[in-house]
Amino acid sequence: MNEAVERLVDLRWPSQVKSAYDVVIIGGGGHGLATAYYLATRHGITNVAVIEKGYIGSGNSGRNTTIIRANYGIPEAVRFYQHSLEMYGRLEQETGRDVMHATKGLLWIAHSEAGVRQERARAEINTAFGSKTEYVDPKTIQDICPQLDMTGQGVWPIYGASYHPSGASARHDRVVWAYAEGAMRLGVHVHQRTAVTGFLRDGDRVVGVETTAGSIAAGVVVSAVGGHVTTLASMVGLRLPIRTHQLQAFVTNRYAQAFGPIVASSGLGVYASQPAKGEMLIGAEIDRAPAYAYDAGHSFLRSCAFRSIALLPFLRDLRVLRQWTGVCDMSADYSPIMGFTGVPNLLVTTGWGTWGFKAIPAGGEQMAELIATGRTPALIAPFALDRFANDRTMADRGSAGTH
Amino acid sequence: MVTDSVLTHLLRRGEYLTDGGALCLGGDCPHCLATVDGVAYVRTCQTPFRQRLSVQAHPAGDLPRLESRGERAPVPARTIHCDVVVIGQGPAGRRAAEEARTDGKHVVTLDSGDGQDAIGIYPGPLVVARTNDSMWQLYPRDEIIVATGAAEIQPVAPGNDLRGLVTARATTVLAAAGVTLGRVVAVGTPPEGVVATSVSGELVRFEPAAADPRRVGAVVLRDSLGTEHSHPCDTVSLGLGLTPRDALLRMARGMNVRGVGDVLLPPDVPPCPLDGTVCPCSGVTVEDLRSVHARGFCELDLVKRATLAGTGPCQGAACVPHIRAFLAAQGADLPTPFTARPVTRQLTLGEVAAGAHHVATPRTALDAEHRALGAHMERLGGWWRPWHYGDVEAEYTAVRTGVSICDVSTLGKMQVSGPDAVALLEHLYPVPISSLATGRSRYVLMLDERGYVADDGLVCRDGDTRFTLTFTSGGSTFAELWVRDWAESLKLDVRVMNQTMSLGAINVTGPRAKELLVRAGVTDPPGFLRHGTATVAGVPCRLFRLSFTGEVSFELHHAAADSVTLWQGLMRLGADLGVRPHGLEALMKLRLEMGHIIVGQDTDFDSTPRRLNHEWAVRLEKPSFVGRAAILRTNKLPLDRQLCMFEMDGNAPAEGATIWLGAEYVGDVTSSTWSPTLGRSVMLGWVRLQPGGNDEPDELPTKVSIDGQHARRVTRRSFDPEGIRARA
């Protein structure tokens, strides 16, 4: 028996697309499915359809590097991501499904006085808002991760780091499936291979969607798409403060478990971890130029491999298995956008940049509450779209453009 | 004579590196992977054998260790421009290369038999190849020809992990190489040039030999009547069909790429697998496929993700044909294979990193001077800069009581001139420019369209149509783009020259700064916020009188080539004045006593002048400048937080420390230092306004706590509040 084979989840696909639902969620990724799941489990709202143009989890939910952390840089974000991190810790118990959740601890390394200042500040704000992060010295860093080259190849010496012991990871697909199964078990319809081609309008109001499977009327429409949210929003004349950028990553073959923590370096712009299957998973910053393409880049692979070896020399002889690309919706202030759009009956959950995976449980839970009650929950009120018009942006240096 | 591969060499000696499985000798299957020369997952069928090569089987029942051994020479990288790249040198590839050469093309061929493997085709188009001694980046002008041929389909049946299973082509190769095969039974297409007993029927299972349970002893097939027939053998040759090695072709879709030969074959679809291991890399069985399919994982990609089939070292070469057949048998359309991604042939991180290097951090012309003086150098704002010279207190004291010099060459420095220079700067800056007299300077904020502070610096008027602008060290690259972009979009007639790299700058500061300059030959130092030219210690300089430290300061801009002469001259001439250089740590202390902000450290992405308490640097009566409309709009919204100055007794808290009003978080510290002059700590920090109560407007808290200590907000700095010292 192969332990990696998913043996628990039972996906019960709907037999047909209904002509109307109370709620239509566009996008069958983590956020869309978690929203549907919490609508059904917490609020008893099950006349819900999730519309997915590919297969569930085929977008960024299945392309991210599965890092769960709450060590952000502003109070509102620390609170939100800490809540999400705690929900992840309970997710297996709640859904009864194995999402391969593992607490690993995350080191964010500083290579300069300016970096030290930043990591100390991260520890301060995290601690103040209930997330565990402490500043650690080089000796402690070595204890946590003996494989680090403390001289950074003689070029990027390690001065210190912030250590976030609750940093974790989970298997991205299994998170998607746990939510999909739970939602469908309670009657939510998830329609794969169905693309939204337009919106049904009644005056200003959105009253449904046009899809490749026909028109679907809806009480509320929620956009939970990633990568093409601006295209979708433009169908109703809505402009979002979002640019889409590529984010690339690569993995090696599988090796025996020997690398415990998640290690990130802002100076070198790389991060690395060893998920449960044993591969080394390595990523970098978003590509600066906006793009929708999924092309993999050689300069990324070469440069990222080089930089990661400078930090972790043992990587040198590992075999590169595969590289891939996701496209990230980056908001103007590096924080998510959740809630009302100004277009009646159309909600968004977007701006998930490089931090979408870690936000799936809290994002889904809070969006479900908003849909069910019609009121924005306090936890996500700071992330409303109108913050841009109101000059209340959530500028967050702690969110970086990496992981 | 053809060199043996490691695999052939070992097989000839009857040695095996792996449990078994149908060997393909084509670099497709995962059955010959081993650790070679310290690198795990090497295809031994593609590795030329040589003496003293270390070859080890992967650990039994476990994954290879996560490690690299010893030192290894860096892998060289080559960039090759050519007309045509031909990937694969089988008959079709050789013919294609020959035709292109006949047409006069410069052709580069990649022959996997010679250790040259294309690992990916990237936009460009760029072909990246690994060879036995270097990495190649190939840029073909005309086209890429993919002639990678086809792989043989692996058997799926119980016992398919036994030794002695060989694909039909591999059987031919092994026989020719003199490997003892014993009795060969051929299933499907028989091997060429090998004596074999051909058998037919549906493949049921492979049975182990009595003498060696790890080796095949018989193959069992079922005839059309359902009767099983066991065929004793030592080797089973498996000619089960071909599937094109078209990953490179699919990856390069939309580029100028064409396939030739077997890579264009329609893939053979094997019969639906009934039992046994489908994906040898991840250990996925037919039972696993049935299990996930029954539970809703019906798409190829979902099957892959649910079982991890196809995610191992062979990247689906072994399993995908069978999974497609399986899904088709469940009633689906025959699915297309999943997306092809680099790398198509594996290589190490060390190899793929070939040719990369660290991005250099620039050094000023005075870098060697700083290091000779024992400076601790730091990366900051994109430069190497002196953090301190070993005694921050003495550096501080020199500035406050005597004279000190500081390398500020990293400042952004720009000349803007031309008929429309005034018009451009009036548009870019929120203060009047046309009224600035020649020879005068002004502190300026640079705002973006949202009214947020992007940078700060000086505007210095050199003439009617000529200005010198300065920017922060980290901001100069953006500033140049910003200035040029606006000049271009406003269609203004200006010349812009970024002199950040070509000019050095040394700040001479302290109560005795003038004295030092006079000694250095400056007869008439400019007054506060004025500038002029002079020869200083023999070096032609422009002198800008300003103050960031709070003391009399002259910024000496000069050709970077003269920096060392000027620096050494000032050090020599000021020796008896106690001149010493100060680093950034002292500078941070000095400027913080003055309450001066540093853009990037004290500001945030959304810092309006109002939030920064810098409304004095914005003249809204100016009819138009970048950011004006946004500021007019946001000024109507209630202020939410502001950057304020704080003082407290006791040690300075960490920068980033949180600020509390009772039990409520109200902000955080952005800059913090102990002030030796004041005998207490001074800070800048963001604070949220608090409800005023009784319909009073929101207000800033006055008494707060930081690090559990009392701190008070000050509206006016305690150190030289009138700024008399700087103007002296």
pLDDT means over runs of 10, chain A (403 residues): 86 96 98 98 98 97 96 96 98 97 98 95 96 98 98 96 98 98 98 98 97 98 95 96 95 97 95 96 91 89 97 97 95 95 98 96 98 98 97 83 65
* Neighbouring residues of A288: CB distance < 8 A, sequence distance ≥ 6: A245
**Closest CA of chain B from A202, distance in Å:** 32
Q: Give me the amino acid identity at B260.
A: V
Tell me which H or E stretch contains B185: strand B184-188
User: B649 near B681, Cβ under 8 Å?
Assistant: yes
Same domain, A217 and A274: no
Residue A1: its pLDDT value, please?
53
Same domain, A181 and A36: yes
> Residue for token digits 């407290």?
B648
Same domain, B458 and B557: no
**Residue B255 CB: number of other CB atoms within 10 A?**
16
* Neighbouring residues of B515: CB distance < 8 A, sequence distance ≥ 6: B403, B577
User: B347 near A320, Cβ under 8 Å?
Assistant: yes
CATH of the domain at B475: 3.30.70.1400
Q: What residues in B contact A117, CB-CB < 8 Å?
A: 655-656
End-of-domain residue from the set A294, A310, A331: A331
Contact B120 A393 (CB under 8 A): no
A15 CB near a chain B CB, below 8 Å?
no
Closest CA in chain A for residue B640: A392
Residue B522 included in any domain: yes
A57 CB near a chain B CB, below 8 Å?
yes
Nearest to B445 by CA among B671, B633, B656, B596: B596
A154 CB near a chain B CB, below 8 Å?
no
Q: What residues in A contact B68, CB-CB < 8 Å?
A: 313-318
Same domain, A185 and A233: yes
Same domain, A259 and A110: yes
Residue A307 included in any domain: yes
> Residue for token digits 């707060």?
B704
Laid out side by side, the sheet with B495-498 consists of: B441-447, B453-463, B466-471, B412-417, B495-498
Same domain, B701 and B610: yes
Nearest to B578 by CA among B424, B340, B403: B403
Nearest to B163 by CA among B232, B217, B100: B217
Same domain, B160 and B215: yes
Q: Give how many domains chain A has, as a whole number.
A: 2
A309 CB near a chain B CB, below 8 Å?
yes
DSSP B266: P
User: B385 near B496, Cβ under 8 Å?
Assistant: no
E strands, B450-605, where?
Answer: 453-463, 466-471, 495-498, 503-509, 531-536, 539-546, 553-559, 580-581
Closest CA in chain A for residue B585: A113
ipTM, 2 dp: 0.96
Same domain, B92 and B56: no
Residue B555 included in any domain: yes
User: B145 near B87, Cβ under 8 Å?
Assistant: yes
* Neighbouring residues of B181: CB distance < 8 A, sequence distance ≥ 6: B166, B171, B174, B175, B194, B234, B235
Q: Are strands A48-51 and A20-26 parallel, antiparallel or unpaired?
A: parallel
CATH of the domain at B385: 3.30.1360.120
Closest CA in chain A for residue B666: A75
DSSP A391: T
Q: What residues in A contact B657, CB-CB < 8 Å?
A: 124
CATH of the domain at B119: 3.50.50.60
Contact A319 B63 (CB under 8 A): no
**Closest CA of chain A from B263, distance in Å:** 21
Residue B214 included in any domain: yes
Q: Of A4, A10, A55, which has the smallest distance from its Cβ to B282's Cβ?
A: A4
CB < 8 Å from B in window 351-380 of A:
none
Q: How buried is B83 (Cβ within 10 angstroms: 0-12 exposed, 13-18 middle, 19+ buried)?
A: middle
Is the pLDDT at B30 greater than 80? The verdict is: yes
DSSP A290: B
Nearest to B594 by CA among B470, B725, B473, B440: B725
Q: What residues in A contact B307, CB-CB < 8 Å?
A: 2, 4-6
**Residue A206 CB: number of other CB atoms within 10 A?**
23
Using CA atoms, how far apart are residues B272 and B313, in angstroms rounded to an integer?
23
How many beta-carbon pairs below 8 A join chains A and B? 224
Mutate to test the interface with A, among B121, B352, B634 (most CBs of A within 10 A): B352
Same domain, A141 and A268: yes
Same domain, A178 and A326: no
Residue A78 included in any domain: no
Q: What residues in B contact A58, CB-CB < 8 Å?
A: 301
Same domain, B35 and B177: yes
Count H helices and E strands in chain A, helices first.
Answer: 8, 19
Concatenated DSSP letters for B340-389?
Answer: P-S-SS-EEHHHHTTT--PPPPPB-TTHHHHHHTT-EEEEETTEEEEEES
Residue A70 included in any domain: no
Residue B257 included in any domain: no
Same domain, B283 and B404: no
Q: What residues in B contact A2, CB-CB < 8 Å?
A: 282-285, 288, 307-308
Using CA atoms, how far apart are residues B88 and B148, in angstroms rounded to an integer?
5
Q: Give me the amino acid identity at B299.
A: E
Same domain, B407 and B417: no
pTM score, two decimals?
Answer: 0.96
Nearest to B558 by CA among B579, B583, B538, B572: B538
> Residue for token digits 């695999």?
B7
Which residue has better confidence, A124 or B70? A124
Is the pLDDT at B381 greater than 80? The verdict is: yes
Same domain, A236 and A179: yes
Domain span at B97 = 77-150
C-alpha to C-alpha distances, A336 to A216, A403, B426, nearest whole angstrom: 28, 14, 36
CATH of the domain at A128: 3.30.9.10
Using CA atoms, how far apart are residues A381 and A383, in angstroms rounded to an integer?
5
Q: What average pLDDT is seen over chain B? A: 96
Residue A84 included in any domain: no
pLDDT digit string (tens) for B426-440?
A: 999 999 999 999 999
Residue A94 included in any domain: no
CATH of the domain at A47: 3.50.50.60
Could you give phi then psi for residue B414, rounded to 5 degrees? -145, 140
Same domain, A309 and A189: no
Closest CA in chain A for residue B42: A319
Using CA atoms, how far apart are residues B430 and B620, in angstroms rounded to an integer?
7
pLDDT digit string (tens) for B144-160?
A: 999 999 999 999 999 99
**Closest CA of chain A from B325, distance in Å:** 19
Which residue has better confidence, B467 or B707? B467
Closest CA in chain A for residue B387: A113
Same domain, A276 and A213: no
Q: Give me the amino acid identity at B2.
A: V
**Closest CA of chain A from B15, distance in Å:** 24
pLDDT digit string (tens) for B353-373?
A: 999 999 899 999 999 999 999
Using CA atoms, how far apart are residues B247 and B252, in angstroms rounded to an integer?
9
C-alpha to C-alpha distances, A257 to A82, A100, A260, B63, nearest whole angstrom: 27, 15, 8, 9
Q: What residues in A contact B314, CB-CB < 8 Å?
A: none
Tell me which H or E stretch contains B102: helix B91-102
Domain span at A192 = 20-64+172-241+333-399
**Helix, strand, coil % (nearest 5) of chain B?**
20, 30, 45
Same domain, B389 and B533: yes
3-state secondary structure of B27: coil
Residue B468 included in any domain: yes
Nearest to B344 by CA among A217, A298, A41, A344: A298
* Neighbouring residues of A300: CB distance < 8 A, sequence distance ≥ 6: A248, A284, A287, A323
Is the pLDDT at B1 greater than 50? The verdict is: no
Residue A12 included in any domain: no
Residue A80 included in any domain: no
User: A30 near A356, Cβ under 8 Å?
Assistant: yes
Contact A321 B604 (CB under 8 A): no
Same domain, B308 and B235: no
Exposure of A398 in the CB half-sphere (CA atoms within 13 A): 26
Residue B349 included in any domain: no
End-of-domain residue from the set A284, A300, A331: A331
3-state secondary structure of B118: strand
End-of-domain residue from the set B118, B150, B182: B150
Using CA atoms, how far apart are residues A175 and B625, in angstroms rounded to an integer?
50
Same domain, B613 and B696: yes
Q: What residues in B contact A13, CB-CB < 8 Å?
A: 296
Same domain, B420 and B393: no
Nearest to A56 by CA among A223, A208, A194, A167: A194
End-of-domain residue from the set B240, B257, B280: B240
Is the pLDDT at B2 greater than 80? The verdict is: no
Residue B626 included in any domain: no
Contact A319 B41 (CB under 8 A): yes
Same domain, A296 and A375: no
Q: Give how many domains chain B has, as a whole number.
A: 6
Contact A256 B59 (CB under 8 A): yes
Same domain, A249 and A324: yes
Contact B352 A392 (CB under 8 A): no
Q: What residues in A contact B378, CB-CB < 8 Å?
A: 112-114
End-of-domain residue from the set A313, A331, A349: A331
Q: What angle do CA A353, A356, A362 make, to 5 degrees?
A: 140
Q: What residues in A contact B350, CB-CB < 8 Å?
A: 305, 309, 316-317
Same domain, A326 and A253: yes
- Residues B621-645: b if buried by 16+ CB within 10 A, e if exposed: eeeebbbbebbeebbeeebebbbbb
User: A138 near A160, Cβ under 8 Å?
Assistant: yes
Q: Of A57, A306, A324, which has the smallest distance from its Cβ to B341's Cβ?
A: A324
Q: What angle do CA A147, A149, A155 make, to 5 degrees?
A: 160
Same domain, B332 and B475: no
Q: What residues in A contact B347, CB-CB < 8 Å?
A: 319-320
Residue B350 included in any domain: no
* Dihedral sign computed on CA atoms, order A50, A56, A61, A66: positive
User: A107 near A161, Cβ under 8 Å?
Assistant: yes
